Structure 1
Amino acid sequence: MRNQLYCNADLCVFPSLYEPFGMVALEAMSHKVPVVVAETGGLKEIVQHRKTGMLFKKGSAINLAEQVNTVLSNLVLTRKMAEDAYLMLSKRYSWASVANQTKDIYPK
């Protein structure tokens, strides 16, 4: 059901006031759905503004609306961000990449 919702989505918006990991953004990106996220927690570490998604000032409804409007009115930018996010995801968050990052944490 969740995957079907992503497949039907034109945009995913996460107006979180607190989001420690940002997994929801990664899930949307894995379905090539553009994201608009609050500049908070893990979300701001995952999303690069206007590169892999749009960031807005947490708690600012006006800034949120501006970013959503930008995404919905600029199809070229939206498609580019979704593709770039998907590529970033496949490189940075693949199982092999995560395993190597984990391995590098531990002493040899």
Structure 2
Amino acid sequence: MLKIALLVLTTMQDGSVRVTLSATDDMVECEANRDAVTTILTGAGRPPILALCGQSDLRLTPFVHGMPESAETNRYRVDLVGETFTVTPLAQDAPCREVREGARRSYCARSGQSVVQ
């Protein structure tokens, strides 16, 4: 079932990409959360690569603030076409190729969030 979610991509200290995906009740709440997160990250000198509200059928455990990068072990591929995104879980040994072709972009990312079954 599709639900509105906030997708945030940030750069970690080691240069890799972190993905967070947080479900919200509606688009208004999502956009408010996006604005708040973007303001906080930008104010800390670490603006997000992307902060986007959209629909997703993937559910992840809640984001935990202050998690060390070493605990960000879950792998995901994030595909974007225009303003639409798909987040796909990856096995630890699965290949991932980043793409930047016009409106189509793919990121290989890590997260401390895991898939909720």
What TM-score does the superposition give when structure 2 sets the normalisation length? 0.23
Point out which structure has higher relative CO (alpha carbons under 8 A, 6+ apart).
2
User: Which structure carries more helix by proportion?
Assistant: 1
- Give the number of the structure whose alpha-carbon radius of gyration is greater: 1
